[in-house]
Structure formats: C-alpha cells, structure tokens
Structure 1
Amino acid sequence: MPTYAADYAASLADPAGFWAGQAARLSWLHDPPRPVLSQDEATGFYRWFRGGRLNTSWLCLDYHVANGRAQQPALHYDSPVTNVRRSYTYAELLDLTARLAGGLRAQGVEQGDRVIIYMPNMPEAVVAMLACARLGAVHSVVFGGFAPPELAVRIDDAQPRAIICASAGMEIDRPIPYLPLVQQALALATHRPACVVVSQRDFCPAELPAEAPAAAATTLEKTETRFVDYQELLAAAPVEAVPVDGTAPLYILYTSGTTGRPKGVVREHGGHAVALRYSMGAVFGLKPGETIFSGSDIGWAVGHSYIVYGPLLLGATTVLFEGKPVRTPDAGTFWRLCADYGVNVLFTAPTAIRAIRKEDPAGQLARRYDLSQLRHLFLAGERCDPATYDWAGELLGVPVVDHWWQTESGWPMLASCVGYADAPPPRAGSAGHPVPGYNLQILDEEGQPVPAGTTGLVALRLPLPPGCLPTLWHDDARFQAAYLDQFPGYYLSGDGGYRDEAGYCYIMGRVDDVINVAGHRLSTGELEEIVAAHPAVAECAVLGLHDELRGQVPVGLVVLKDGAVLPETALEQQLVQLVREQVGAVACFRQAAVVARLPKTRSGKILRKTLRLLADGEEFAVPSTIDDPAILAEIRAVLLRRGIGVGATPPPGPTLAQSATSSGRGGA
C-alpha cells in the first residue's frame, strides 16, 4: 500500500506522473488523456487531461450498474421537513437520469449549453445535475431561495438555455414558493432561457404560466420562455452519455467576490472526476459500498463534491438531507440519520456542531442512537475552535478531522488523510497537513516563505492539482488578477495561517480577519478560540473595530448555550480575563456583548466583515449570501445599547429588517 509520505513527495516531484496513475483508476471513454498536464498557449493556465474522453454521469452511474452495483442504494433521501424518505438504487438513479437527459435534449439542451438548477436538497436536483453532465451540458446550481436580483445576475452571466427549479422549498414552519422568485429574476435579467422546467412538490404545487412573466414582455421579442413540468421530461426516451474532452466544463459554481459581483468557478470533467475519486479513499477513508452523509446543500461546493459526485464516482451510498441540524425536529437529527443509514463518514460544518451543542450541551440526544458504524467526523467550511472539536470527539468517540478547502479547489487542500495508515493524526486547532498534490507554502508580504510558527499568507505553488478551478467562467483576466498576480508562480488563497515545527497547518481565517492593535498584528481566529473556550459560550465572533488611539481594538459577540445563566457584565469580565491571561494586555480586549444569534451565510460562515462594517458605522451592502438579514438589525440594537462601536447606519437599499427569502435547507 502506498504511504502518505511517499504519495505526497511523488505528487510534488512529478505531478503529471502521479495524477496519470490516479486517472488510470477511472474508465475513460474512447481515448486516454494525452497529455496529462498542459498549459494554454494564450493564458499560460494549467489544464489537466486534455484529449481524454469521458463522461462524469457515466462514471457515476452506468459504470457501477455494469459492474455489480445496480441494486446497491446510491442515494438515501431524508426530509423531516416534508416527512418524506426514499432510497434509490444505482439502477433507478441511472434510469431517471437518462430519461431526464432525454427530456432536456427534447427541449433543445445540447453539449456545451448551460442549465441553471434552482432547487432545494431533493432527489430531482441530483438527477438534474447528473442529466446535464450526461449531455455534456454545463450546470450551475444556485442555492434555492436566493433573492431574484442575485439569480438574475447568474442568469445573465451563465446565459442558460434552461432553468430547472422546484415549485417550492420548505422552511421549518412554512413553504417558500420558488417559481415567483424565478419569474421575478427573469423580469430583471436580460438573457432569456428557452424553457423553465418546474418540479412540483406536493405541499406547494405551482401553476405554470403559459408564457414568460408579463413584467419582462419588452425583452421577449427574440425568445419566448416556455414553462414545462419536470415529470413531462421524464416521459422521454433515455439517452446515452455523451463523451466529452477532459477539459470540458462540468459545472459553474458562483462564489462571492470582493467587488460584490460573483465569480463563476469552473470545474472540468476530467480533473474533477480524478481528484474526487482519489479523495474519497485517500482523505475520507471511504470504500465502495460504504455510506457518507454530508450535512450540506447541493448549492455549495461541499454538496457538489461530497453529496453528489464524490460518493457516486466511488460507488458509495450518499445521504441527501433536507432539513437543519436542529429543530427538525431536534438537535439529534444528525445522529438519527447516522444510525438509520449506517453512516461511516459524517461531514458537516463546525457551525452545525455548535448549533447542536448549544441546544444539547450534554449530548444526551446522541446517546439515543446506535452510532457504531461511524468512523470519522469531518469538519470544514470555517475554522473549528478546539472547544467544539473536543466536545464532538468526546461525544462521538471517533476521530474528528478538521480540514480546509475552498469553492475554488473543489476538494480538500489540508486534512489528516485517514486513508493512509501513516498519515499524521488529527490535532485540535489544526486543519492537518497538505493533501497530496498541494504544494502549500506560508509566505510573507514579499512572497517569501516564513519560518515555522510565523503567521503569513497561505499560497499554493502552481500547478494546482486536478479538480481545482482552471479559470473563472468567461473571465480569464479576473482569475489572473484575483489569484495569480500577487505572487507569480503561486495561487493565493486569501487566507492567513501558519505551519508548526511538526508540519501541522493552522488556518486563521481570511487575511482581512487579521487586526492591527497599536502595531501588534493579532488573529481574530486566535481570540475567538479563547472566547469560545468559556463554558457558557456556544459560538462567537471577534471583530476588529476602529479605534482612534490604537488603530483597531477587538470586540466579542457571543451566543450563549441553552440553559446558560450568567449576567452579561460578569461574562464580559471573565472573557476579558481569559484573553488577558492567554494573549496579554496588548490585545486590548475589553468589551463583549451577548447576542441571540450571529449573521451567517447559508453555508454557515459568520459574516465577520459585515459585522465590523456595521459596528464601525460604514456603509455596506447586505451580502446576497446572508441567511437572514434581520439579524443585522438585532445586533445593531445590541451594539447601540452597549455603546460598542460608533453606531452603525443602515446600508443603502433594502432595510435591515427586510428578510431575504430563504429555503431553510439543511446542514452546513
């Protein structure tokens, strides 16, 4: 068996040779890739597996049906918010995918066309993704419930031939109709898709309009948008998978950009399939036939990689969950899923574990379920504080693997690779060691490597391994400027961190999360670790607020655990003392306020920059990814009451109390 040390060294010494070996584990249609690694003449960007012919949908479904897994469960769908459970074998999933692909082709969707998928975590969404891949069409999953202006931006950027949407998503207590949101987006967008395919949900069916929204009538002169029922497309004859080049785009996934305009991360068929197939075994230690539950959403990178494509490429079983880690119906939902489906690997975000811990601090609900099949808990999406890490490990009795990656990478860059017997074990606070293929370096502001223990900028020496973005959708210049220009020869991640003497890497958060207090650079991530260690604190955010004397000073916002009873002034004093003891008076940490909740993206990341701008009284736009904008008004009231910051003014546009529509979907 290969060792982590040997594979990591080989992946850096001879990237093309190492990944050619991994590519040989897949069944290529017609032609193997030649060359394995190349560079575009015009841009110099690296490309993997040009000339190889394959199809991701075929690898996920047809291959396994033909090789003994036809009757194995491919997908378990579990929705406590709609009270529906359903399992699909590989043969059933293949049949649905092939027929939907035939229906899409009948609507004019062909290889290279784009299709936007605007749906919650429902089986029809997974089938839609695989059907697009089967045709060689490029899908772009947009988080169901995104506000119409944001959906319109994505429509105009991707220019889809079709949109596939659900009639509704389900919040904990109410349905959220989706079709009106799509119609509003079409009224705002300049691009006209040929059709909108609507998957009806029993709890909130939609009446399909005969034509596109009246508000967009002036834009319909060239193209009229048809509205079609999803079930009608399934009546089509099944179609075979279309072989595509290894560099053909599989999907576009939009991520936030510093300008406010989203960046369309491109993923290619060849590199994506090779990297994810490798990661399932090497990083997660999963074998064909075993089960993984990723408590995320298909609208995020985790959902693409480890709900849908990674498990199916391996021949594993995946759990698709529509709900939340708490209140559907309680904080034991994740543990119930693990028990019901014999989950071997659980993957979620630290914020989900903190939410569970907040409602069930003693972990009593976990003891109701048989978790004997669970081997590992993987956490990613934001930095995991040691208190949460230790609580989860003690409760579950399995290794907790904090790891780090980005939408741009598509799969882990740092981890404890449990598939290797010699991989360094997990360590609290650390995201692990570089995964084979990633030449990770910590650089100073001049682009030079820093000594062990010194915080710097996290960068990766080019070429990035397969599966990472080769560029941005139709925007090579922005890709070059955003990621490559600052340090030639490197991809700049935008995160700060350090590597210790033993080689463990620590990601401290985005570079703009480093604050400068009277000339001393302090990591808000480090301060948050200290605050989160207080026994009454469920989760927290530390902000660097403007200070005339010191430049910036840190302020804490904390959410208490359920049942915690402690006067706010006493808690503040205790937190100040903790920071003084562990960092020193130089930190100038003197204020902490209790809030009911923290603003987060729908993927669970705390919006620290937005909070800082709010407290400093600077103008800002409410981020499109925010879970509930009303939270900002609540926190502003707390800051004003406590005299923290300068008293923020509401941002231009919609009021803070005006909530964006949310689908209320699951997990991380």
Structure 2
Amino acid sequence: MTSSGTTAGSRYAEVYGRWKADPAAFWAEAARAIDWSRPADRTFDPEAGVYGHWFVGAEVNACHNAVDRHVAGGRADQAAILYDSPVTGTTRRITYAELQEEVALLAAVLRDLGVERGDRVVLYMPMVPEALYGMLACARLGAVHSVVFGGFAAKELAARIEDAAPKLVLAASCGIEPGRVVAYKPLLDEACRLSNHKPQACLILQRPQGEAALAEGRDRDWAAEVAAAREAGRRADCVPVAATDPLYILYTSGTTGKPKGVVRDTGGYLVALTWSMLNLYGIQPGEVYWCASDVGWVVGHSYIVYGPLLHGCTTVLYEGKPVGTPDAGAFWRVIAETGAVALFTAPTALRAVKKEDPEAVLMRGHDLSRFRTLFLAGERADPDTVAWAERILGVPVIDHWWQTETGWPIAANPVGLGILPVKHGSPTVAMPGYDVQVLDEGGKPVPADTMGTIAIRLPLPPGCLPTLWRQDERFRESYLAAFPGYYNTSDAGFLDRDGYVYVMGRTDDIINVAGHRLSTGGMEEVLASHPAVAECAVIGIRDSLKGEAPCGFVVLKSGVARPPDVIERELVALVRERIGPVAAFRLALTVGRLPKTRSGKILRGTMKKIADGEPWTTPATIDDPAILEEISAALHARGLG
C-alpha cells in the first residue's frame, strides 16, 4: 500500500492526479463521450451561477444521448429495459428501438398538451416502464421533470406541485405493494386541491389492479392519448437545450418545512454519469446492470435511468422488494434470469435478506456465474453486512458514498480503474472531481484519523447540483456558508493516512457524552458484529448527567432462540470492550423492526424525539408508520419517552 492508498494494479492515482492537475482538461476529455448539438465555449466558467457552471455555451439533449444515438449506432435490437415485476407477475423486454418509439410517442402527447422547453412536469409513478418513458419524454422536449415517489402523502405531493409549478402531472392509477394495492389517484386529487398551483392536465396510466375515475376536463387517459398519437403518426423530435439548463428537480425534505428542490443541470450530469459507468462501476456497453432502487430517489434517476442508458447498457427495472416478493431469494433470481453483471442496492436491503436467510439457502439453484460486483450505497454499510455479502457471493462488495445533491458518487472503490484494497467501514477514496477534506469547527483541515465534518472544496464537479430550485440563497446557507470555499456535506467522519474516507454518520449523529464526541456509527459497527444481530441503530438520547447517552436498537436474525435480554447484556458488554467505558453504552433495546424511509434510511431523528419525549410527527417518507408506535412502546417499557 502506498501513501495514496493505491496499489500497482490500479490506475486510480494516475487518473485522480490527472484530474487534479487540470480539472477543465479532464472533464473536456470526458465530455467527448457525449453527443453535443453545440460544443461548449468554456468547459468551466467560475463566474456563472452560484459557484460556477460546467460546459457553458454547449447545447445537448439527454434523451438523444440515452436513446436515439444507440438506435442509430447499432443497438436498436438490444434490450434497453428488462422489466421484472413479481408483484404483478409480469416481465417485459424493451429494446432500444421500442424505447425510442414509446418515448417519441409520449413526447408528442406531452407536446400536444402544451409542454414546451423549460416547462415542468411532475411524475407520480410506480416502478413501471412508463415512468422511464415519462422522464425521457420530458428530456426529449427539453422540459424539466420532477419525480415524486409513488404513494407519497397528498400534503407532500402538493408542496412539490406548488414549488415546481408543473404544466402537467403524469401519474398511475395505483401502485402495487406486497399484499395490497395503493390507490394513487385519490392522493393526486387531494394534492391538486391543496396546491395553490393547478396543473393544466393530468395524464393517468390506468393499471388493471386498480383503475381510477378520471376528472372531467383535467384528466386524460394515458393509453388512449398514446394510441391516438400512434394512429396519427405523431412523434416528437429531440429539442436541444443549454448544457446548463435543468434536466430535473428532485425534492428532499427540508428542515424549514418547505422542500428543497435539488436542481440537476443537463450537460454536466450526462458527462459525469457516463464517466462513472465505465471507470467507477466497471460496466461495458451492452452489459446488463441492475440498480435495485426506485425512480423516486436520486439513485433511481442516476443508475436505473440515465447512467445505464447513456452508456448503452441494459437496465433492470424491478417492481418488487428484496424480501416478501416472494422471499429473500428474489435478488438472486433476478440476477440469474437477467444476466446482470452488477447489482447496486442499499445496505438495508441486504440486511433484510441476511435476516431472513442468513446462510443464503435461497441462493442455491440460481446461476450467478455472470455476476461480478455488488455495490452498496444510500447509508453506511456496516462491516458485518459487507463481510456476509463477500462470503456468500464470492465477488467484490463495493461500498460507495454520495448524496442526492451530488447526483453521483463522491467516494468509491473504482472498479473500472482497478480495485483498490477494501477496508471494511470505508467507501474507499474520493473520485476525480471531488477534493474531499475533513474540517474542524473553524473550517481548518484536521490531521488523518481525526473526526470532523466532511467537506468538498469548490467547485463541485459536473453532475452536482448548481443550486436549489428558485432558492439560490437557501442553497448558499444550507451548503456553502458554514465553510467558505467548501460544500458542506453535513456528514461526519475522517480520512485515514491512505486517503480512505470514513463516513461515520450525519453531523447530528455525532453525540456528546460527558464532553467526548462519539460516533453512533462506530457503536453500530460493534452491535452489528454480534452474530445474533440482523440490523441496528444507535441514537443519542438526553441525559441529565452526561448531556447525551447512547441507546441502541437491535433487530435479531430470524431463528435466534436465546432470550433478548441476554443478548442485550452481551451487546452492552461488547461496546464496553470494543470502544471502552467512555461510550457510556448501557442501553440496548430489542425491537421487531426499525423505522425507515422508503429508500431504506433509518429515521434516527424521529426515534430520538420519541426517546427524549419531544413532540414528533410521522414523516411523510416512512415505509410503515406502525413501527414508530412499536419503538415508542419499547422506550416506555424502559422508562423513556
């Protein structure tokens, strides 16, 4: 190992050094992989926008690059999308030529309904091919799409409609969850009623599992409109837009109650994602790539839709769960049947599989011979889960770290450049474009192995957010004000002496126990190493003596016969042994489930409010609200909350 964390088998040090020596030249070279209607006047203009803009003066179309150029370039008959829906018992193979036809037809429908370049369109869709058609049809016209997770609460959907002011909403009549049908249309109707902005029309995809009544005058039937366009021979061509124009707006929950609309500009995003598919993920054009996320999240935008299609891959679109559709062998079945060479999922999904099938019995009989790499992101990948996946799969398990705001990975183990030595607990090293630093409270870099706030020296690379939708000042305050010259990730962690990044949690997950700053992520690592623990979460709860004290919540693996109180005592002793008495870890609670968002993030903030006895509300993003009552009951049983 060298001081840069590289080995002789990897090109990482050379490539990262080339970027650092001349960032503009590096990204200008990467931009050659994209078809431009007009080349850039400047690769980077530091005076444009809030902190500078990439590919100023260039014009491009995202749909052309993701679809049309592949049809023209010989991939017309290659599968673009493999749709696998265990909740409906449906599979479909959609070629690039078929994708081009469907997107051009839908774009013609949108155009006939008044959608033009720069208009916004909100999508409220489940994981069906039409969701991808909708995103790409917007991009084809130069319209800005904003995808809201299907089934999101009406109030939250209304807030996004009001902020984005869409001309049109694309929605499905329902979504399908294991054992139930979720009606989307009543939620959409209520959101339109609550919002001060009223969309001109709603295009509704009727699903046979739950058709919806259409509102006269406003609602249109998706299938009927597309059929009419097909019969009339109407197709929409790609409309070039400025590289700096928004491709989409993706909302994240804001602390002020007003959602933050992360803006993704078009040109930089296309360049960054295309670069990442080969260099980071090690995927070749024509290969099958599966990202088991949802188009409602940034991961779905980047690595279900745009990244694989820009690179000429086949993307897997999965309408199901890691467990329960029908069992914990679902991932292995899909990999075998689609021939996926890589899977990208969240650690929480893998923990769910591990909990239900710890010895991977359900993997037997599935041919995974083509499968090369498992990628994990979305939350911290605990070393125990990574080690379990390495053992059962026998392939590299690559943790990587990024955010909705960045749009593509900040730190990763670059498979395409040659894998670096894996260090469990670290997403490895910063990718080209990211100058990652760990800062103290005064904004000064700290020594190696010292905890602090992880920040990225400006400018951010192509693909990252240039601002928030119509909120430049909020963008500055939220991300740039704390450390001038840096983007504040609001994640806490450290860099080791090899330059490996360790993300230990959000900065508000660093708790202060009697003056000692301790990482809840470090304690979670210890709890997760216990052989009986499937998953866990540690929060800091109010303590009159020490200020805060850690409290651990653990979910046990299926089939564990030993009493929970015995395991809880072992966990307390284990933290004391591994971290020391300074952690003051005395409370471990066994629960049936952890409260999570639909994307798999554990709702630690809400759990803390419950434990501290503060007022709390059920977050709109929660997967199952009943779990919070279980958490509350467990805390009350210990005299907390």
Same-fold status (TM-score > 0.5): yes
Equivalent position of 1:502 in the other structure: 498
Verify: 1:626 aligned to 2:632, yes or no: no
Verify: 1:6 aligned to 2:3, yes or no: no
Q: CA deviation at 1:3?
A: 2.5
What is the percentage of aligned positions where both structures have the same residue?
56
Q: Distance in 2 between matches of 1:475 and 1:235?
A: 40
Say whether the 8 Å CA contact 1:514–1:524 is kept in structure 2: yes
The 1:53/1:234 distance shift into structure 2, 3 A limit, reads farther
1:572 aligns with one of 562, 568, 572: 568
Equivalent position of 1:367 in the other structure: 364
1:86 aligns with one of 80, 92, 107: 92
Verify: 1:452 aligned to 2:458, yes or no: no
Q: CA deviation at 1:234?
A: 4.7
Q: CA deviation at 1:231?
A: 3.7
1:200 aligns with one of 203, 206, 209: 206
| Structure 2 residue matching 1:24: 3-state secondary structure | helix
AA matched with 2:193: A
Equivalent position of 1:169 in the other structure: 175
Equivalent position of 2:128 in the other structure: 122
Equivalent position of 2:635 in the other structure: 639
Verify: 1:293 aligned to 2:290, yes or no: yes
| Structure 2 residue matching 1:142: 3-state secondary structure | strand
Equivalent position of 1:19 in the other structure: 27
AA matched with 2:324: R
Q: Distance in 2 between matches of 1:235 and 1:508?
A: 54
Q: 1:487-526 maps to which residues of 2 (within 5 A)?
A: 487-526=483-522
Equivalent position of 2:3 in the other structure: none
Q: Distance in 1 between matches of 2:288 and 2:462?
A: 25
Verify: 1:412 aligned to 2:418, yes or no: no
Q: CA deviation at 1:427?
A: 2.0
Q: Distance in 2 between matches of 1:486 and 1:15?
A: 25
Q: CA deviation at 1:13?
A: 2.3
Verify: 1:551 aligned to 2:547, yes or no: yes
Equivalent position of 1:153 in the other structure: 159
Q: Deviations over 1:364-423 (max 9, x none)?
A: 1112211111110000000011110000011000000000000000000000000002x5
Verify: 1:428 aligned to 2:421, yes or no: no
Q: Distance in 1 between matches of 2:377 and 2:219?
A: 40
1:472 aligns with one of 468, 472, 478: 468
Q: Deviations over 1:78-118 (max 9, x none)?
A: 00001110010000000000010001000000100000000
Q: Distance in 2 between matches of 1:446 and 1:230?
A: 58
AA matched with 1:441: Q
Equivalent position of 1:398 in the other structure: 395
Q: Distance in 2 between matches of 1:458 and 1:21?
A: 29
Q: Distance in 2 between matches of 1:2 and 1:504?
A: 15
1:532 aligns with one of 528, 545, 570: 528
| Structure 1 residue matching 2:118: 3-state secondary structure | coil
Verify: 1:560 aligned to 2:556, yes or no: yes
Equivalent position of 1:263 in the other structure: 260
Say whether the 8 Å CA contact 1:531–1:575 is kept in structure 2: yes
Q: CA deviation at 1:634?
A: 1.2
Equivalent position of 1:660 in the other structure: none
Q: Deviations over 1:441-485 (max 9, x none)?
A: 111111111111101110000110000000000000000000001
| Structure 1 residue matching 2:75: 3-state secondary structure | coil
Q: CA deviation at 1:44?
A: 4.1
AA matched with 2:196: T
Aligned length: 629
Q: Distance in 2 between matches of 1:226 and 1:342?
A: 40
Q: Distance in 1 between matches of 2:450 and 2:461?
A: 26
Q: CA deviation at 1:40?
A: 4.3
AA matched with 1:258: T
Moved more, 94-103 or 564-573: 564-573
AA matched with 2:39: P
Q: Distance in 1 between matches of 2:20 and 2:471?
A: 28
2:330 aligns with one of 329, 333, 337: 333
Q: Distance in 2 between matches of 1:146 and 1:158?
A: 16
Unpaired segments of 5 or more residues in structure 1?
A: 212-224, 648-668
Q: CA deviation at 1:586?
A: 1.3
Q: Distance in 1 between matches of 2:39 and 2:422?
A: 37
AA matched with 2:97: A
Q: Distance in 2 between matches of 1:124 and 1:562?
A: 37
Say whether the 8 Å CA contact 2:10–2:420 is kept in structure 1: no
Say whether the 8 Å CA contact 1:197–1:230 is kept in structure 2: no
Q: Deviations over 1:325-372 (max 9, x none)?
A: 001000000000000011101000000000000000111111221111
Verify: 1:60 aligned to 2:72, yes or no: no
Q: Distance in 1 between matches of 2:506 and 2:91?
A: 39
Equivalent position of 1:28 in the other structure: 36
The 1:49/1:2 distance shift into structure 2, 3 A limit, reads farther
AA matched with 2:499: G
Q: TM-score, normalised by structure 1?
A: 0.93
Equivalent position of 1:316 in the other structure: 313
Equivalent position of 1:601 in the other structure: 597
AA matched with 1:233: V
Q: 1:654-665 maps to which residues of 2 (within 5 A)?
A: none
| Structure 2 residue matching 1:68: 3-state secondary structure | helix
Say whether the 8 Å CA contact 1:104–1:233 is kept in structure 2: no
Q: Deviations over 1:274-303 (max 9, x none)?
A: 000000011100000001111100000000
Q: Distance in 1 between matches of 2:244 and 2:606?
A: 37
Verify: 1:481 aligned to 2:480, yes or no: no
2:148 aligns with one of 130, 142, 156: 142
Q: Distance in 1 between matches of 2:177 and 2:618?
A: 22
Say whether the 8 Å CA contact 2:336–2:367 is kept in structure 1: yes
Say whether the 8 Å CA contact 1:195–1:228 is kept in structure 2: no
1:386 aligns with one of 368, 383, 387: 383
Q: CA deviation at 1:230?
A: 4.0
Say whether the 8 Å CA contact 1:402–1:426 is kept in structure 2: no
Q: Distance in 1 between matches of 2:266 and 2:185?
A: 30
| Structure 1 residue matching 2:597: 3-state secondary structure | coil
Q: CA deviation at 1:2?
A: 9.5
| Structure 1 residue matching 2:416: 3-state secondary structure | coil
AA matched with 2:46: Q
Equivalent position of 2:610 in the other structure: 614
Root-mean-square deviation over aligned CA pairs: 1.2
Equivalent position of 1:654 in the other structure: none
AA matched with 1:206: A
| Structure 1 residue matching 2:294: 3-state secondary structure | coil
Q: TM-score, normalised by structure 2?
A: 0.97
Q: Distance in 1 between matches of 2:502 and 2:176?
A: 37
Verify: 1:232 aligned to 2:244, yes or no: no
Q: Distance in 1 between matches of 2:56 and 2:296?
A: 28
Q: Distance in 2 between matches of 1:231 and 1:380?
A: 39
2:240 aligns with one of 243, 262, 286: 243
Say whether the 8 Å CA contact 1:118–1:163 is kept in structure 2: yes
| Structure 2 residue matching 1:21: 3-state secondary structure | helix
Equivalent position of 1:651 in the other structure: none
Say whether the 8 Å CA contact 2:347–2:381 is kept in structure 1: yes
Q: CA deviation at 1:5?
A: 1.2
